Amino acid sequence: MDFNVKRLAADAGTFLSRAVQFTEEKLGQAEKTELDAHLENLLVRAENTKQWTERIMKQTEVLLQPNPNVRLEEFVYEKLEKKVPTRMNNHELLGQSMIESGNEFGPGTAYGNALIKCGETEKQIGGAEREFIQSAAINFLTPFRNFLEGDFKTILKERKLLQVKRLDLDAAKTRLKKARMADARAVAEQELRMTQSEFDRQAEITRLLLEGVSSTHAHHLRCLNDFVEAQTTYYAQCYQYMVDLQKQLGSFPSSFTNNNQSSVSGGASISVPTIPVSASLPSVSAGRGSSAASGGFSELRISNGSRKARVLYDYDAASSSELSLLADEVITVSSVPGMDSDWLMGERGNQKGKVPITYLELLN
């Protein structure tokens, strides 16, 4: 019991000494040991890393889940260590509504069938979004969160301990200056040597931890690459799904396929061309034989001859230089020097005009 009281008294004395030293430093009445410039720069970099990591995390969470109420619910479930209930996202809800309305209008009608196809595509996009969110959470948000809740908390702990050791060192220096008797000076010098050694040791520990932030930056760079790759895959999937949907809708009667054609004064019409599907985005569909088809078109362009081709989907000409197409009809196509690689010259009897190769299948 006596030992505990003495220990408590010693701890209280140490705490009081630190408080006095801190107060006198703030009032400019005591000297303060400054950290070396390298260590100060490391401390500033670690603090900046912490602040920007928090900001990037927050904005990424807003991107992945714009609804603040849902984010709050997910946070609560995470703290309770419970699984978040599965819910349909906005694309899936829209797809479900489209499918249900399409069935109501009748799958046999053009409008009902189109609604069902659009709904199925929206559900595919919703599934792709779910995969993207999961990938981003695992490969991007989790490492950032681990840094804030793990490594940086350790840095904070050691930095706070370094501050305590510095106060002890400066307090020892002050006591040495005030010591007048030889015995008191000897005790003060021994205490100074001990506190200086502890301060130097803690400064080295803190420096090593702070230099580890460079490794954190390298790790976060890899996480950033994973995040960009996941976004690229997600947008490529969405693009491919919409291109496939556009092809399917192109096979419907023209009166149902294009609302972008509108009348203007004088009876003229404006036509918005179909999105070309030849853009260099990664494909998410396999086994479509696209390589063989591309090879056939390449041979046709090299030979400068003509071939028969079957039309896969309806196509409405966007200008007088193009030829409108009907699904399943057979036309003659040829290559014209200087023409864009996505187009060929098509002929049907006396009619002639440019046609997109993505709507064609070459015949043997």
Return the DSSP state at 129.
H
The confidence score (pLDDT) of residue 161 equals: 93
Residue 166 CB coordination number (10 Å): 23
The confidence score (pLDDT) of residue 206 equals: 95
Residue 294 has pLDDT above 80, yes or no: no
Residue 43 has pLDDT above 70, yes or no: yes
pLDDT tens digits, 44-101: 999 999 999 999 999 999 998 887 877 777 667 777 677 777 788 899 999 999 999 9
Confidence of residue 283 (pLDDT cuts 50, 70, 90): very low
Work out the average pLDDT over 354-361.
Answer: 89
- Each domain of the chain, given as residue ranges in start order, spans 10-251, 297-362
The confidence score (pLDDT) of residue 18 equals: 66
Return the DSSP state at 252.
S
Confidence of residue 363 (pLDDT cuts 50, 70, 90): confident
DSSP string over 187-229: HHHHHHHHHHHHHHHHHHHHHHHHHTHHHHHHHHHHHHHHHHH
Q: Which of 11-25, 184-198, 330-344 has the least mean pLDDT?
A: 11-25
Correct CATH for 10-251 of 1.20.1730.10, 3.20.20.70, 2.40.37.10, 1.20.1270.60: 1.20.1270.60
Could you tell me what percent of the chain has a pLDDT over 90?
46
How remote is the C-alpha of 334 from its chain's centroid? 44
Determine contact, residues 89/130, Cβ cutoff 8 Å: yes
The confidence score (pLDDT) of residue 232 equals: 96
The closest alpha carbon to 115, from 100, 136, 137, 130, belongs to 100
19 vs 235, which has greater pLDDT?
235
The confidence score (pLDDT) of residue 276 equals: 47
Residue 209 CB coordination number (10 Å): 19
Q: What is the token pair recorded at 146?
A: 């681990």
pTM (2 decimals)?
A: 0.60
The confidence score (pLDDT) of residue 327 equals: 86
Residue 165 has pLDDT above 80, yes or no: yes
| H helices, E strands: number in the chain | 11, 7
Could you tell me what percent of the chain has a pLDDT over 70?
77
Determine contact, residues 45/213, Cβ cutoff 8 Å: yes
Residue 292 has pLDDT above 50, yes or no: no
In whole angstroms, what is the distance from residue 268 CA to residue 93 CA? 39
Residue 348 bridge partners (DSSP): 351
49 vs 168, which has greater pLDDT?
49
In whole angstroms, what is the distance from residue 43 CA to residue 40 CA? 5
The confidence score (pLDDT) of residue 263 equals: 40
Residue 255 has pLDDT above 70, yes or no: no
335 vs 279, which has greater pLDDT?
335
**R_g over Cα of the chain:** 36
Q: What is the token pair recorded at 41?
A: 């720069």
Q: Which of 77-81, 113-117, 131-135 has the least mean pLDDT?
A: 77-81
Q: What is the token pair recorded at 207?
A: 């420096």
DSSP string over 255-304: HHH-TT-EE-GGG-EE-PPPPPS-S-------SS-HHHHHHHHHHHHHHT
Q: What is the token pair recorded at 193?
A: 């040597």
Residue 295 has pLDDT above 80, yes or no: no
The confidence score (pLDDT) of residue 279 equals: 40
194 vs 12, which has greater pLDDT?
194
258 vs 246, which has greater pLDDT?
246
DSSP string over 65-124: ---HHHHHHHHHHHHTT-PPPP---HHHHHHHHHHHHHHHH-TTSHHHHHHHHHHHHHHH
Pairing type for strands 351-356 and 262-263 reads unpaired
Confidence of residue 280 (pLDDT cuts 50, 70, 90): very low
Correct CATH for 297-362 of 2.30.30.40, 1.20.120.1200, 3.50.50.60, 1.10.1740.10: 2.30.30.40
Confidence of residue 288 (pLDDT cuts 50, 70, 90): very low
